[in-house]
Amino acid sequence: MSTAETAIDALKAQVCALHAELIRWGLVAWTSGNVSARVPGRELMVIKPSGVPYEDLTPDTMIVTDLEGEVVDGHHQPSSDTAAHAYVYRNMPEVGGVVHTHSPYATAWSAAGEPIPCAITAMGDEFGDDIPVGPFALIGDHSIGEGIVATLKGHRSPAVLMRGHGVFTIGKDAKAAVKAAVMCEDVARTVHLARQLGPVPRLGQDDIDKLHDRYRNVYGQQDTTTTGAGA
């Protein structure tokens, strides 16, 4: 087995395992969420097969496609969201992982068409701003991918609420994108609950800047093998 094949096999195992995190943190119902990873240094990505229950996922069932979404290796159809993942990888070279979910609180904000205001320090840390709303877009062509990239390019937030649809998150690798998806639902819930109590003040911009800067820099320098969350 070549080194390249070994690297892809390791990525298949990682992407497969990360789907369990979507279940664990309550982000998905039935088969409605997916994780992908870019194959470093190659025009390829690894993504969930379409319509396979999470408990039946194994590394072998993962699909390898090129960055146009064409299947290179795999026995199933790739996720129906493959075109959106591929568009992100083509247009954001710094992105190594993409996650899509319909997690309930975040999707509720997307259905209301309202950004999640940066009202708690955990949002300052991870998102550095409000979590933005992207355009409504239908599946079937590049529209969803374009909407993700247009919203997230140059934005601090690794998460976008696609209007009337759900969440896409990005990261330097698949694990970081999964973490962003978990944190997005967590803060979407907390700020939603706060809104039921009354008006929720956004943090001061200066405080948000300091939180985000410290989180990106102090954490990153300490330990590049883990992704902390304020703990």
Q: Which residues are catalytic?
A: 100, 102, 125, 165, 219
- Kindly state the DSSP code that residue 132 receives in the 8-state scheme: P
Tokens coding 194: 């706060």
DSSP code at position 102: -
Among 1, 93, 94, 222, indicate the residue that binds a second copy (CB under 8 A). Answer: 222
Q: Which position among 14, 36, 65, 107 is part of the footprint of a second copy (CB under 8 A)?
A: 107
Which residues from 114-143 bind a second copy, rule CB under 8 A?
114, 119-122, 136, 138-140
Nearest alpha-carbon partner for 126 in 88, 77, 82, 176: 176
- Least separation, in Å, of the C-beta of 66 and a second copy? 19
Spatial separation of the C-alpha atoms in residues 192 and 67, rounded to whole Å: 36
| Class of residue 27 by CB neighbours under 10 A (exposed 0-12, middle 13-18, buried 19+) | buried
Strands 97-101 and 166-171: antiparallel
The interface with a second copy within residues 153-192 (CB under 8 A) comprises 164-166, 179, 182-183, 185-186, 189-192
Q: Which of 76, 142, 155, 156 binds a second copy (CB under 8 A)?
A: 76
Q: Which of 91, 155, 172, 219 binds a second copy (CB under 8 A)?
A: 219
Q: How far apart (Å, rounded) are the C-alpha atoms in residues 26 and 136? A: 24
| Residues 176 and 158 sit within 8 Å (Cβ to Cβ) | yes
Site residues for a second copy, 11-70, by CB under 8 A, read: 25, 28-34, 48, 50-53
Could you say which residues in the range 188-217 bind a second copy, by CB under 8 A?
189-201, 203, 207, 210-211, 214
Considering the rule CB under 8 A, would residue 223 count as an interface residue with a second copy?
Answer: yes
Residues in binding contact with a second copy, number by CB under 8 A? 74
